[in-house]
Amino acid sequence: MFQLETEQLLLRDMQQHDEDAFVSLSQDIKYQRFYSEEDCAPDKYRLLTKQFIQQAQEMPRSSYQLAIELKASGDFIGTICLRLESDKQASIGCGLSRAYQGSGLIVEAAKELAHFGFSNLDVHRIYAETISKNIAAIKLCESLGMKQEGYFSQHRYFKNQWWDTVVLAMLKQDWLNINSGHS
């Protein structure tokens, strides 16, 4: 099983026993603010659990959809992913249980996964796309050193309204310059 370790976290392949906690995370009203109702259906998250387990078996691997486990307790507290694309590009995304938001743990997880992407997978560029009102996601991206590259007006439609989106990204050389001391 694939796993990365930080001071407080294990980032590991999703397992079947993560399903209930993953579904529970998706049902939090705060989590659902920036997703359509269909995207938050419990059955969708059950299917995603199975999909992420299957993706972990692919060779070569194209997706690292990982559970975030708190080392101190062994609890599943969220997910983080790096999806590899053509031309050494990758997208990153995450979701964290509300009880752990604001703790710095998602920054710890994202830094470790970005480091893995740039250093071990030789990714050239990592990007994230999010709803422009998702301030926490934008701040997370900025804390990694990502810069806004694009702003798309009325780009997504759900919850009976149009939403603007932003794309933030970082290049490998910028990451290495900022994080030269990362072990």
Q: What is the mean pLDDT of each run of 10 residues along the chain (183 residues)?
A: 97 97 88 76 92 94 97 96 97 94 95 96 97 93 96 89 95 91 52
Domain-embedded: residue 12:
yes
How high is the pLDDT of residue 168?
Answer: 98
Q: What whole-number distance in Å separates Cα of residue 127 and Cα of residue 136?
A: 16
Domain-embedded: residue 168:
no
How high is the pLDDT of residue 34?
Answer: 75
Domain that holds residue 24: 3-127
How high is the pLDDT of residue 9?
Answer: 98
Residue 24's CATH number: 3.40.630.30
Domain-embedded: residue 78:
yes
Domain-embedded: residue 72:
yes
Domain-embedded: residue 49:
yes
Domain-embedded: residue 183:
no
Q: What whole-number distance in Å separates Cα of residue 124 and Cα of residue 66?
A: 21
Q: What whole-number distance in Å separates Cα of residue 93 and Cα of residue 147?
A: 15
How high is the pLDDT of residue 183?
Answer: 45
Q: What whole-number distance in Å separates Cα of residue 164 and Cα of residue 122?
A: 31
Q: What does the CA dihedral 80, 85, 89, 91 come to, rounded to 10 degrees?
A: -30
- The count of domains in the chain is 1
> Phi and psi (nearest 5°) for 17?
-70, -5
Q: What whole-number distance in Å separates Cα of residue 27 and Cα of residue 3?
A: 26
Domain-embedded: residue 112:
yes
How high is the pLDDT of residue 181?
Answer: 58
Domain-embedded: residue 146:
no
